[in-house]
């Protein structure tokens, strides 16, 4: 199948092969390899999925462009070949600044093949039982590290993660030009969802929250409308108020609280034929006016993290299409991580950063 792939993706493969060959020519094992050239074979094939390269090792005899030693005594191991190829393709090198996509699939399954690897069995560094990243040195799967352009800070690199949630949510919502959008919750996820909805063409975005302080930041960041959800207000009344403030019912609602009453409001508020996206995660069982949604053809869609969003998010940040910097309200050195958690839990700021590099403590 390398020939088939070669044919389909000739340019990409050729580029990769050229780089690989030049690297291989300078590889220390190459000298050993030269001693028994008859046994050369190629063990590498590329599997390309949705424009990204995933390398797998296979066994193809005597491909002219690549020279791998077959004999186990002299061979470059598959893992080494894999590393060299990956470095060629991803263009990563030691010292690169990268944004880490925390979740990567643990194998190739139907979801992975369909490009929806967030639904595969994933390793996700921060969700138990998988370890998190509260440490100075951390090793991660290179395929899920994305080079940061020079004009992006490490903080922006870290915010690629929540931005990815928003991109995935807005893609699932199919937000497009002219849409009016309701965002429930002005936490970090609500705010990045607002930024992405605007970038995707929403004409007006209204954000609701129960805290005025959070709405203040939403306003500063450019929300068209904000709405404080008063205590004891019913979801039906809240939906009516949203319609009045917006001048119409929103075609899209992105629920970023996980709170039952906000989900109910989201259903009542969304225009018939529209779509409600559930990002917020609260109780596993929620009472909702499902029949109201069904009879008005309001689609309800879930969101589980994200997939294929990191390159987009990085481009959006690097080009200035979205500005996430105002989200960061607190910064703590690694030594004060516990304090950072208390601040985050108390909802005092918005995005609380833990800075692991002692030389990078400022924005
Ligand atoms: P957050 O707690 O900082 O923000 C939630 C906001 O909702 C708060 O500002 C809160 O005051 C507000 N809120 C509470 N009740 C409300 C109500 N009735 N109406 C309007 N606003 C209300 O959390 P966050 O980091 O912004 O994340 C938001 C949600 O998204 C969380 O539930 C989180 O678990 C979830 N999340 C889901 C995914 C996913 O893959 N689905 C990914 C990341 C986060």
In this predicted model, what pLDDT tens digit does every residue of 42-88 receive, in sequence order? 333 333 333 333 333 333 333 333 333 332 322 334 444 455 555 55
* Ligand 1 contacts CB of residue 168 (under 6 A): no
Q: Are strands 204-209 and 122-124 parallel, antiparallel or unpaired?
A: unpaired
CA-nearest residue for atom 40, ligand 1, is 305
CA-nearest residue for atom 42, ligand 1, is 305
Q: What is the pLDDT of residue 143?
A: 86
Residues β-bridged to residue 53: 48
Residue with tokens 């129960």: 210
Rounded Cα distance, 190 and 209, in Å: 10
Strand segments, DSSP code E, in 260-327 are 275-278, 299-302
What are 351's two structure tokens? 């995005």
What structural domains and CATH numbers belong to the chain?
2-90 (no CATH), 98-147 (no CATH), 156-302 (3.40.50.720)
Residue 344 alpha carbon, nearest atom of ligand 1:
3
- Closest to 357 in 3D by CA, of 102, 124, 134: 134
Asked if 300 contacts 276 with a C-beta cutoff of 8 angstroms, the reply is: yes
What are 196's two structure tokens? 């992405």
* pLDDT tens digit sequence for 91-101: 567 788 999 99
- Closest to 302 in 3D by CA, of 149, 204, 168, 208: 168
* Ligand 1 contacts CB of residue 261 (under 6 A): yes
Residue 261 alpha carbon, nearest atom of ligand 1:
18
Chain-centroid distance of CA 356 in Å reads 21
Residue 190 alpha carbon, nearest atom of ligand 1:
26
Mean pLDDT for 304-332 is: 96
* Ligand 1 contacts CB of residue 259 (under 6 A): yes
Position 292 pLDDT exceeds 70: yes
Rounded Cα distance, 298 and 270, in Å: 7
Rounded Cα distance, 263 and 255, in Å: 7
DSSP type of residue 272: T
- Confidence bin at 29 (pLDDT 50/70/90): very low
* Ligand 1 contacts CB of residue 305 (under 6 A): yes
* pLDDT tens digit sequence for 240-289: 999 999 999 999 999 999 999 999 999 999 999 999 999 999 999 999 99
List, in order, residues 6 or more apart from 204 with CB less than 8 Å away: 180, 181, 224, 225, 246, 247
* Ligand 1 contacts CB of residue 103 (under 6 A): no
* Ligand 1 contacts CB of residue 102 (under 6 A): no
φ/ψ of 8, rounded to 5, equals -65, -40
């Amino acid at each position: 199948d390398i020939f088939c792939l070669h044919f389909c993706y000739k340019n990409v493969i050729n580029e990769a092969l050229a780089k690989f060959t030049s690297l291989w020519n300078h590889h220390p094992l190459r000298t050993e390899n030269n001693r028994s050239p008859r046994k050369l074979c190629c063990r590498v094939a590329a599997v390309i999925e949705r424009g990204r390269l995933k390398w797998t090792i296979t066994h193809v005899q005597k491909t002219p462009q690549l020279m791998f030693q077959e004999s186990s005594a002299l061979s470059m191991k598959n893992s080494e070949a894999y590393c060299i190829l990956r470095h060629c393709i991803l263009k990563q090198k030691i010292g690169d600044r990268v944004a880490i996509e925390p979740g990567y699939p643990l194998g190739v399954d139907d979801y992975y093949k369909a490009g929806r690897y967030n639904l595969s069995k994933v390793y996700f560094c921060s969700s138990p039982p998988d370890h998190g990243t509260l440490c100075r040195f951390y090793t991660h799967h290179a395929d899920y590290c994305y080079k940061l352009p020079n004009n992006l800070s490490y903080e922006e690199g870290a915010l690629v993660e929540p931005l990815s949630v928003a991109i995935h949510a807005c893609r699932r919502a199919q937000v497009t030009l002219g849409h009016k959008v309701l965002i429930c919750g002005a936490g970090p996820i609500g705010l990045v969802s607002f930024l992405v909805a605007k970038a995707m063409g929403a004409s007006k975005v209204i954000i609701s929250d129960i805290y005025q302080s959070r709405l203040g930041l939403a306003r500063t960041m450019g929300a068209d409308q904000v709405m404080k959800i008063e205590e004891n207000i019913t979801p039906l009344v809240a939906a009516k108020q949203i319609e009045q403030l917006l001048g119409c019912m929103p075609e899209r609602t992105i629920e970023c609280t996980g709170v039952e009453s906000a989900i109910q409001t989201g259903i009542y508020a969304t225009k018939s034929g529209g779509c409600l996206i559930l990002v917020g995660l609260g109780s596993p069982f929620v009472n909702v006016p499902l029949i109201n949604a069904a009879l008005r053809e309001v689609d309800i869609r879930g969101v589980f993290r994200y997939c294929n969003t990191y390159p987009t998010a990085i481009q959006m940040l690097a080009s200035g299409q979205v500005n996430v910097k105002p989200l960061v309200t607190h910064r703590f050195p690694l030594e004060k991580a516990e304090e950072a958690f208390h601040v985050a839990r108390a909802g005092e700021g918005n995005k609380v950063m833990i800075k692991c590099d002692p030389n990078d403590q400022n924005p």
